[in-house]
Amino acid sequence: MIENKNRNTEEARSIQVAEESRELDWKSKSFMASLYMGDLDMTAAYPFPAQGPADLAAGDAIVAKVRAWCLEHVDGDAIDRAQQIPAPIFKGLQDLGLFGIKIPTEYGGLGLSQSNYMRILAEVSLHCGSLVATLSAHQSIGVPQPLKLFGTPEQKKKYLPLLAQGWISAFALTEPSVGSDPANMQTHAELSEDGAHWILSGEKLWCTNGVIADLFVVMARTPDKVVRGKPRKQITAFIVEADWDGIDVVHRCSFLGIRAIENGLIRFRDVKVPVENVVLGEGQGLKLALTTLNDGRLGIPAVCARGAEVATEQCASWAKSRVQWGKAIGYHEAGSDKLARIAGAAYAMDTLSRYTAALSDHGGVDLRMEAATAKMFNTEIGWQVADTALQLRAGRGFETESSLAARGEHPMPIERGLRDSRINRIVEGTTDVMHLFLARESLDKHLELAAPLFGRASLGTKLATVAKAGAFYATWYPRLWLGGWFRSFAGFDPKLSRQLRWIDRQSRKLARKLFHQMLLQGPKLEMRQLTLNRFIDIGVELAVMALVTARLQTELKAGDRTSLDAATYWLVARRHEVERLFTELSHNADAQARTLAKALLEGAEKLADLAPRDLAPLPRERGRDLTSGRQAHRLGRHPDERAAK
């Protein structure tokens, strides 16, 4: 880790924990990482990857079943109004095997690919946001994925069959006073005197599925480990069964959207966790979480992309039907612009989602940056799509689905879709955290070369570092100016070749400017988050444009021109976005924002207490009903209903 005198003690400690938990080695060349170094490697994107015929057929079959079931049984508007998923819906999900989509068949799961998992989530999302959030939280970040990746044979044999048949899981990381800063985690676990159990205590907030979970993955501090004479914080992952003594649901949270999710504040008091329920190993919890999220984050981008596709269809129908001033609103320029933005975004989002799914299914590919990019880009653009769709529908977009139906109009769920989509920019890594993550990874090569210069290394080590870095930059930097002379992008349509040459020039410009900022600001660059955000956003825009180009060329070669207009619009429109971001690197109001914020903070009163009250646990009955695969008392009843009884 590079030492930085601009950090305070808490920042330094938090960054140290994050650095020690991140993946240090790249398993493969990363399309995104290369782009930030000025290397647009289209061999990683073209021909654009597609599902194999057998996998596609398997996906088609299960998606068709899920679609038919959802159309018959899932009323998203009713679920939203009731703020509760009915018991028969859980039973239906179990019967379809959707609690074990990616769990191997040997453990009773469907054993489907990442691509088909994402397709299933996308289909469910069209009917109910709360339902897809429940499924996603269960197997994207809940117990199944960590067990698949890191579980022992004994752990897999014990828990995966139960999860496949319908036991629900939750991921417990966030705390009332700790969000993306795990170094300050308060939940802790101590080894019992006999060494047989860990004694776990603490509180976890915003734990999706936590109110009804049968199993948790709980992140907790374990005793520090001394490394080179210094204490190193340890975060460990535990599998915890909800029926063990000392576990209480103390509050069910209510939200703007996805109102039927069972998300709550969970309290652990002296819970005895068997030592064999540690996953991956002591002190490896944060590494487990980060690795799990590489694949786990991909469900939300798929949901966003599918939602945009449906919004395109619905908005086009509406824009053709609604007539103002003598013609359909879609033919007015303002309407045309909105339709184009929605359709272009849908194609770009779907492209990025498909690409990351293919990387995941390929296996052995490092997709940490691509997964974070998909999560950030699709959720941000998805929110813009939802807002644009509502604006196009105007008053009818703001009106609820049930109100529209009651007065005889087509009940497009635009209002509910907008509310449900807002959480996507927050959950499983906020946009701000994704920016920081991508900034760190995009600078990895530079930091790897220069790290000894900013640490307590010997003079000999520093001189060797200067020599090594000098040799690298002596060839790398000139290529950023001259590299375009050797790029032809043969095999692409001439118009698309021109697009790629422009993207290539911008990627080399990005790498140069990022390098210049590193030289000018040194370690201070870490504190210029808005500047780093712009660099990251430029790279993301260029990467998505390159992927759109690769996909379009692949489709054109196959004789498919369906998406030509949408892709062409996106490529032209996003050039202006890239140019705006480059301009804002040097012309912005960042300093004025810092001055204003400082004045506001100095004049504000600090909240007296950010900690939760000592809430009494909600009553709950015990006992399992294995025919349903969920705890019998939880099937179709709310905690407040239990309390009332």
Q: Residue 120 and residue 123: Cα distance in Å, rounded?
A: 5
What is the 3-state secondary structure of 338-384? HHHHHHHHHHHHHHHHHHHHHHHHHCCCCCHHHHHHHHHHHHHHHHH
SS (H, E, C) 22-59: CCCCCCCCCHHHHHHCCCCCHHHCCCCCCCCHHHHHHH
Residue reference for tokens 């000098």: 470
Catalytic residue among 123, 203, 309, 428: 428
First to last CA, the chain: 55
Per residue, the 3-state secondary structure of 54-98, as one string, reads HHHHHHHHHHHHHHHHHHHHCCHHHHHHHCCCCHHHHHHHHHHCH
Burial class (CB in 10 A: 0-12, 13-18, 19+), 93: buried
* Residue 428 falls in the annotated catalytic set: yes
The whole-angstrom separation of Cα 437 and Cα 293 is 12
Residue 48, φ and ψ in degrees, nearest 5? -65, 130
Measured distance CA(448)–CA(465) in Å, rounded: 10
Residues 563, 48 contacting (CB under 8 angstroms): no
CB 412 within 8 A of CB 314: yes
Q: Which two tokens stand for residue 13?
A: 């400690």
- 503: nearest Cα among 565, 583, 578: 578
Cβ–Cβ under 8 Å, residues 211 and 204: no
What is the token pair recorded at 154?
A: 């004994």
- Planar angle of CA 120, 410, 255, nearest 5 degrees: 55
- Known catalytic residues are 428
